[in-house]
Structure 1
């Protein structure tokens, strides 16, 4: 389902004035908010990473081409979903684009309905990614409120999900099981989660937890 107008934006990049104008008009009539650019460089100069949406990108352009822009965005950690449109690219190019995370690779001429379906998928993907990133930032802020010992206990449990009992954690960190229980309760409270399993799940999408504090987690022999 298409999102309400203005909530997400279609960033359209194509050096062909006729195609760019035609697509922008057609998508606008369908209720999409569209911003058009004649080159990858023009898009980069204007792009606001806080604006949700997707990138409809021509593969073959002078200057920075589509694949090069995709690579540049990946290197700068801009996670905007990309839909390639191309009258030049073949199988190798489409495979390369898809392997690099493109939503789809549409060959011109394509049906507008196919592009619309791709855009709606891309919008959903983008909003899910942004939501996950927001959750990670929130978790990072909460994690930093833990004391040094609480971080140590939390990181140990994350690093060793099969040995999270208070007795085992206490043995490895040279503290009493009762102290581990106290720290565990405080960790869950400060992180606003209900179990160690949730903490471990969170760490799977938030690698910063592993690197937030340098702790030696080598199990004792």
Structure 2
């Protein structure tokens, strides 16, 4: 699940960054698209989990939609198949939290001086070259903060997985996170000591990850902000 969580973060970063770059360009209806991208994030986790469980359950909306367009062969037990349940839940989590990343990146894009992009266009740089050599480097601090929040959030994700996943499948580890594993074993299995140990390990991992991230990635951003404020 940890490996899949890392893959989900990479995929989520690519999707959110691409959407943010597109939504940062002026076009008709941009405000509405920004709103639609952010709506899933403001939904309660339990509400989103119940909604997707109803959609993905057997003969639910997803299966009916596939059959209606002639793709009935693709119908699967999305939440019960041990081989695909993890990818199903990763898609749900990406849909749920990509809006926050988009808003965060759009805030960072608003701080990119337009004079730099205009100068690059005058010099003959393409849109992709401008994003690669100007926009993305200037978005570095925002992307690093987002990576930190995503990493800590992936260790703590619970609500959506707990509501959406099937208990029997989750007990086999196919759709379990550290948080759901802790509750399953520490509360429902009444292994109090084991559950406490999982909680301590989860705290230690989060704490060490936060220290390492701050030490090697966020330090220069924080020091730059402090120096800039003093000057």
**TM above 0.5:** no
Q: Choose between structure 1 and 2: higher helix proportion.
A: 2
Q: Choose between structure 1 and 2: higher strand proportion.
A: 1
**Max Rg structure:** 1
Shorter-chain TM-score range? under 0.3
TM-score (norm 1): 0.28
Higher relative contact order (CA 8 A, sep 6+): 2
TM-score (norm 2): 0.27
